Amino acid sequence: MAIFNKNTLTQISGFDNQIIAGELVYNQRTFYNLTLNNSDGTPRDLTGATITSQILRRQLSNVRDSRYGLTFDIADYSPAPSPVNLTITNQQLATGTFTLVIDESAWSVASADAQLDINASNCVGFSGNIKIALPAAGSTPAEDLIVFLLFLVRSDGVTN
């Protein structure tokens, strides 16, 4: 599992925002079971919330493993790709839980992609977010909670 340099994560999500970051193998499927909690540690009631998630292909450069974790520069990919919707399942909104499904095979990364070469110095990258849109309730205005996403996709050495 990749360890990311804190400064690298900060360029994606800012200084004080939540982020899920990981390294995937080409065509990997996995999931994250997530629970949002209040500041006292109790599950946050998300009743009425709409949860969506999207990612977008990014151009990574200067990828290197430093003493403090992976570092790289991130920029828009050219030509500009369309966002990929990620699946949100198992929503138990009253207890603040849901599942983010990761199916890298649906992200339009081709097995012949040069960034999947086993000796590629810069791998495939995606960034995005999970948006939890909470409706207004009484005197509390509507609120959007954002969790940033960052995924690197690499070859397993067999695929490309």
77 domain-assigned: yes
Q: What is the model's pTM?
A: 0.86
Within a domain: 144: no
pLDDT the model gives residue 159:
61
Residue 149 has pLDDT above 90, yes or no: yes
Q: Number of structural domains, the chain?
A: 1
Structural domain including 42 reads 1-104
Q: Is residue 59 part of a domain?
A: yes
**Does 125 fall in a domain?**
no
Residue 89: inside a domain, yes or no?
Answer: yes
Residue 39 is assigned to a structural domain of this protein: yes
122 falls within a domain:
no
pLDDT band for position 37 (50/70/90)?
very high
Spatial CB neighbours of 139, under 8 Å, sequence gap ≥ 6: none
pLDDT digits (tens, 9 = 90+) for 73-127: 888 988 888 899 999 999 999 999 999 999 877 787 776 676 777 777 788 889 9
CA 99 from centre of chain: 13
